Amino acid sequence: MKPNSSEKSAPIEAPVTSALWLVRLGPVFAPWGADIWDSLAVTRVQDVAPEYFLLTFSTPVSLAAHPESALLRWMLPVQHQWPTPITRTEQFVEKAAQALAAKFAELNPQNAFGTAARQDVPLKRLASNLRGRLLQVLAKPDAAPYPLEPESQDPHKPTLFFFLHAKGLLAGVTSPADVKSLQAGGTRYVNQQSEDAVSRAGAKLVEGLWSLRLCALEKNTIKAGAHWLELGASPGGMTQELLSRGLRVTAVDRATLAPKILTNKSLTFHQGDVATFKPVRGPTYEAMLCDMNGDWELAFTQLARLAPSLVPGAPLLFTLKFGGIDSLAMLQDSLMKLHERAAAAALKVRFVTHSTYNRLELSVVLQKLT
């Protein structure tokens, strides 16, 4: 259950600071882990599960203020720890639910979500059971049920997140926007394995659309009939995902798209070089998507060239691809250039993350300023 309308969670006005953080670093950037921790001035690093690290700082910090946070998938300020062998603890679910409710109920979280290491099925089951019991304990009389889906959250209101690992429980309250994901742990499986799926790229776009929610930019962009411009669309996995949501798409690529989507009446396909594409005059599109291969700066040049064809305030989903980068310093340089080039094009960088379905690349949300 959730609070009545008169008891709604208050928005979080400033990022939470903490001296202890649970973060997720994907395997792509793991070889640079030591350099990343050094750049963050971490005093102690503890591996708690595959991809998950407990970071200790000498003083409370806000990780969102660090450029290197772009490489992290999930960032939870740890405000509660229970170091115990979970699977051997009697009545663990009940004890943990009562402890979490006692500590965090007064913060009036809008919901509670938890997870465990991906490979640990027993712990994931315990996390599901704990969430169910925790919501019962947090429930207020005569209140409506808590929504079950993470996507129902207000990105800027507090949520109780928790994580289970073999040696304990970690928890904290923060907003989905500050933890960097609507999903506990930063991941939710997106099925792109069906015979009808053009490619697995659609999963990356699904996470991109969740990022628009975190930036409060989804309102006019994912409504039926909204018009998207897609650069580098072939073979059409992302195009297919947009069309499935009732959106109109103008797609551009030198290679063709899958035949199964070419006949869609909501699709306009221009086969040719993006550099020669000329849209109709005036602000035409509600959003832009650019997942072009090759040098990211060349791709960004075309994105910036075509940005005037977007309506004011429109979002742009851009994949920053790191071909040829072999060090953290080179990656940091690319991130700095991204911000500089965005500002020169009257674009604002709103969000940068390494999504579950990214490889050696980052997913970026930009916004047209005028």
Q: What string of H, E and C letters represents the secondary structure of 132-180? A: HHHHHHHCCCCCCCCCCCHHHCCCCCCEEEEEEECCEEEEEEECHHHHC
Residue 29's pLDDT is 93
Contact 134, 112 (CB under 8 A): yes
Relative to beta strand 44-49, strand 52-61 is antiparallel
Q: Is residue 195 part of a domain?
A: no
- Domain co-membership, 320 together with 177: no
Residue 142's pLDDT is 81
Residue 219's pLDDT is 85
Residue 336's pLDDT is 95
CATH no. for residue 353?
3.40.50.150
- Domain co-membership, 137 together with 241: no
Domain that holds residue 108: 5-186
Q: Looking at the whole model, is its pTM more than 0.75?
A: yes
Model confidence at 331: pLDDT above 70? yes
The C-alpha angle with vertex 42 and arms to 45 and 12, in degrees rounded to 5, equals: 100
Domain C-terminal end among 153, 186, 219: 186
Residues 132-163 pLDDT 10s? 999 999 998 888 889 989 999 999 999 999 99
CA separation for the pair 202, 190 (Å, rounded): 9
Q: Is residue 96 part of a domain?
A: yes
- Domain co-membership, 122 together with 54: yes
Q: Is residue 135 part of a domain?
A: yes
Query: What is 301-362 written as a DSSP string?
Result: HHHHHHGGGBPTT-EEEEEEE-TT--SHHHHHHHHHHHHHHHHHTTEEEEEEE--TT-SSEE
Residues 214-259 pLDDT 10s? 999 988 898 889 999 999 999 999 999 999 999 999 999 999 999 9
CA separation for the pair 191, 196 (Å, rounded): 11
- Domain co-membership, 209 together with 280: yes
State the angle between helix axes of 92-104 and 121-138 in degrees (0 to 180), rounded to the nearest 10. Answer: 50
Residue 183's pLDDT is 92
- Domain co-membership, 181 together with 242: no
Percent of the chain with pLDDT over 70: 95
Q: Is residue 121 part of a domain?
A: yes
Region 50-74: mean pLDDT is: 94
Query: What is 60-75 written as a DSSP string?
Result: EE-GGGSGGGGGEEEE
- Reported as a pLDDT band with limits 50, 70 and 90, residue 43 is very high
CATH no. for residue 156?
3.30.2130
- Domain co-membership, 148 together with 243: no
Q: Is residue 353 part of a domain?
A: yes
Q: Hey, is 267 helix, strand or coil? A: strand
- Reported as a pLDDT band with limits 50, 70 and 90, residue 10 is very low
Q: For 251, which DSSP code?
A: E
- H or E element at residue 248: strand 248-253
Q: Is residue 196 part of a domain?
A: no
Model confidence at 178: pLDDT above 90? yes
- Domain co-membership, 110 together with 163: yes
- Domain co-membership, 209 together with 145: no
Residue 7's pLDDT is 45
- Domain co-membership, 121 together with 233: no
Domain C-terminal end among 160, 186, 212: 186
Phi then psi for 303, rounded to 5 degrees?
-60, -45
CA separation for the pair 58, 42 (Å, rounded): 8
Residue 342's pLDDT is 98
Put the strands of the sheet holding 44-49 in their side by side order. 44-49, 52-61, 18-25, 72-77
The torsion of the CA quartet 309, 335, 49, 105, rounded to 10 degrees, works out to -60
Domain C-terminal end among 151, 186, 221: 186
- Domain co-membership, 143 together with 290: no
C-alpha 239, offset from chain centre: 20
Residue 196's pLDDT is 72
Omega before 109 cis (within 30°)?
no
- Domain co-membership, 168 together with 300: no
Mean pLDDT of the chain: 91
Model confidence at 14: pLDDT above 70? no
- Reported as a pLDDT band with limits 50, 70 and 90, residue 191 is confident
Domains in the chain, number: 2
Q: Hey, is 287 helix, strand or coil? A: strand
CA separation for the pair 209, 182 (Å, rounded): 11
Q: Give the side-chain half-sphere CA count within 13 A for 165.
A: 17
- Reported as a pLDDT band with limits 50, 70 and 90, residue 200 is confident
Residue 231's pLDDT is 98
- Domain co-membership, 327 together with 210: yes
Region 30-35: mean pLDDT is: 94
Q: Is residue 194 part of a domain?
A: no
- Reported as a pLDDT band with limits 50, 70 and 90, residue 190 is confident
Residues 262-309 pLDDT 10s? 999 999 999 999 999 999 887 889 999 999 999 999 999 999 999 999
CA separation for the pair 37, 226 (Å, rounded): 42
Of the candidates 307, 296, 305, the one whose C-alpha atom is nearest the C-alpha of residue 338 is: 296
Amino acid found at 157: K
Q: Is residue 156 part of a domain?
A: yes
* Terminal-to-terminal C-alpha distance of the chain: 42
Model confidence at 203: pLDDT above 90? no
| Residue 184 neighbours by CB under 8 Å, 6+ apart | 113, 114, 115, 127, 150, 161, 162, 163
Phi then psi for 365, rounded to 5 degrees?
-105, 120
